[in-house]
Amino acid sequence: MGNDPNRLPAAGGQPNMTATSSTGGVCRICGAPAPRRFQAREMMFGTRERFDYVECAACFCLQIAAIPRDLERFYPAAYHERVGHEAAAGPLKRLVRRLVGRLACVDPRDRIGFAKIARLHPALRHYAAFLEPYRRLGVTPRHRILDVGAGGGQHVAALRGFGFDRAIGIDRFLESSALDARGRILVQRGEPVDMAGPFDLIEFNHSLEHMVDQQAALRQCRALLAPGGTIRVRVPTVTSEAWDRYGTDWVQLDAPRHLYLHSHRSLELAAAQAGLRVAELACDSTSFQFWGSEQYRRDIALDAATSYAVDPGASIFTPEQIASFEAEAQRLNLVRRGDQVDALLQPA
C-alpha cells in the first residue's frame, strides 16, 4: 500500500457515531484479528463523510468497522436511478435481442456460428459479451434466474430483453416492487428467503458487498438452487492492483455502501461457511478502476459535473488515457489482479 495518508493506526480514528455492529477488532468472515485500520470517504455523491474500515490479518478481507444503523440513508433515489433499468427499446430492437438470445444460448455448443454473426455489428458484439457467461454455463431462456440485490432492475430488464422471461430480481432497499414494460414484477422488494425456488442460476451482480450478513444470504440462495444450479457472484476485490495502488481512494471501496471488500481467499471462506465452493474465479475489471480512482485522488466525486461518468468531454481524461486504462485492465484480468471478480459457486 505504501504511505497512504488516509491510513490510521490501529487505535486511532473516530468511529461514525450513527454506526452499530462493530467488528470489535475481529474479522466477521474468519474470526482472526483485523488490526489494520483505514478511513474512507463517501465519494459517489461527494458528501465526503468518513468511515472506518479494518483489514483482516489472515484472510485480508477489508470490511467496514461499524455498520451504520441508518444504512438506507446511503441509497437515495439517485442511487437507484443510477442503476435503473434500461429505457424501453423499439419493436425491431426487441426482436433482434430475442433472436440473439436464442441463437447464443439455446445451443451453447455452437460457438463458431454465433461468433461469426456477432462480428457483423458493434451492437451484436456488445450483446455477445453480455450473453457469454450464460452461454458458457449452458443457461437458456427456459431457465429460472434470480438476481439478488437487483436495484432498479437494469440487469433483469436486459435479460428479459434477450428472451430470459423467467428472470426476476429482489432487493431489500426498494420502496416498492419495480415493474417491467408489460406490467410484470421486474424486481420484488425483500430478501432471498422471500422467494420461491428453485432457480437454475442465482446472481449477485455487485450486490453481495452491500449485504450485512453475507453468509446468511448465500445460505438462503443455496437452499433455492435447483439440482445442478449455480450461484454467480460478481464483487470488487482487494486482491488487486487498484487497491494496492490507490488505497482508500480506490473507487470500488465505495464507503459506506460496500461493507465487505473481499480478497480471493475471504470469498472462498464466506462461500464455504454457506456450504458452497468456488468452482471458478476470473477477473472482469474495466477502466473504471483507474479513472474513478484517479478522480477520487483529485477530490472529484463520481457524480460531479466534471466526472468522466457524467460528462466524458468535461473530464480530466483524454480518449487515449481511457484506452490505456482499458488495456491495463484487460492485462490485469489475465493474471487475476483486476479489481473485480466473477466467481461461480456450487454446493460443496
Confidence of residue 107 (pLDDT cuts 50, 70, 90): low
Asked whether the predicted pLDDT for residue 270 surpasses 90, the reply is yes
Contact criterion met (CB below 8 Å) for 56 and 260: no
Q: Is the dihedral of CA 137, 142, 146, 147 positive or negative?
A: positive
Closest Cα partner for 59 from 271, 250, 283?
271
Q: Tell me the pLDDT tens digit for each residue of 153-194.
A: 989 998 998 889 999 999 987 888 888 878 889 999 999 999
The mean pLDDT value for 117-144 works out to 80
pLDDT band of residue 218 (cuts 50, 70, 90) is very high
Which has more pLDDT, 218 or 132? 218
**Among 203, 169, 166, 211, which Cα is nearest to 188's?**
169
Q: What is the DSSP string of 102-119?
A: HHHHSSTT-HHHHHHHHT
Q: What is the pLDDT of residues 136-154, one digit of tens each?
A: 898 988 999 999 999 889 8
**This prediction's pTM:** 0.84
- Classify residue 153 by its DSSP letter: B
Single-letter amino acid code for the residue at 340: Q
More confident residue, 57 or 5: 57
Read off the DSSP letter of residue 84. B
According to the model, what pLDDT value does residue 85 have? Answer: 42
Contact of 252 with 236, CB cutoff 8 Å: yes
The one-letter amino acid code at 26 reads: V
CA 98-104-109 angle, 5° bins: 150
pLDDT at 120: 65
Which range among 25-29, 50-54, 229-233, 299-303 shows the weakest confidence by mean pLDDT?
25-29
Q: Which three cell numbers stand for residue 308?
A: 468522466
